[in-house]
Amino acid sequence: MTQTFAISVSRVLESVYAFAALDYITVKERPVVLGRGQEPLLRKIIGNCMATLIAELLPLAVGSSLADGRDGDIITVDFDLSDNGTSWTNLRPALESVLAAEVMHVAWSGSNTVLPGVYAEIAAHGMDGVKAMLSGAKGLPGRIEPAA
């Protein structure tokens, strides 16, 4: 059964801005791209990062509004998930968290700090969690079914 999830670009941007503020407090620098005045550019980066995340989630990710072009605040992603009563409410915020970390990784790339690697690791751990959530979606190996 296909289920659609709406990813809010505004929520992702707020997470990116929060990460950027924390980084500024701790390392006393911030890439210019992470400023609020760079929102149009950040929205494009979010779209590009989301396309990559969707590709990583194939074959369960079966569609997206990115295929139609996107200018709004919502990116939809369609997943082919089982209709076994599983609640998928944690999937949207998990995807948004992974997306924010991936944007931070891209923004810090090329800097002389450890932050690109830190954000890449955060994104990878988050994506592992998303894949674990989805691993049993169509009875794929790696998911232990609850006992009857």
Mind listing the pLDDT tens digit for each residue in 76-112? 999 988 776 667 888 899 999 999 999 999 999 988 8
141: enclosing H helix or E strand = none
Instruction: Write out pLDDT tens, residues 52-69.
Output: 999 999 988 999 998 777
64-76 b/e (C-beta count within 10 Å ≥ 16 → b): bbbeeebeeeebe
CA distance 32 to 15: 16
CA distance 107 to 39: 13
- When comparing pLDDT for 142 and 94, which is higher? 94
Q: With CA atoms as reference, report the closest residue to 93 among 68, 128, 130.
A: 130
What HEC string does 80-131 produce? ECCCCCCCCCCHHHHHHHHHHHHHHHHHHCCCCCCHHHHHHHHHHHHHHHHH
Assigned token pair, 117:
């690697």
pLDDT of residue 93: 94
CA distance 111 to 82: 43
Other C-beta atoms lying within 10 Å of the C-beta of residue 145: 8
Q: Lowest mean pLDDT: which of 11-20, 21-30, 31-40, 133-142?
A: 133-142
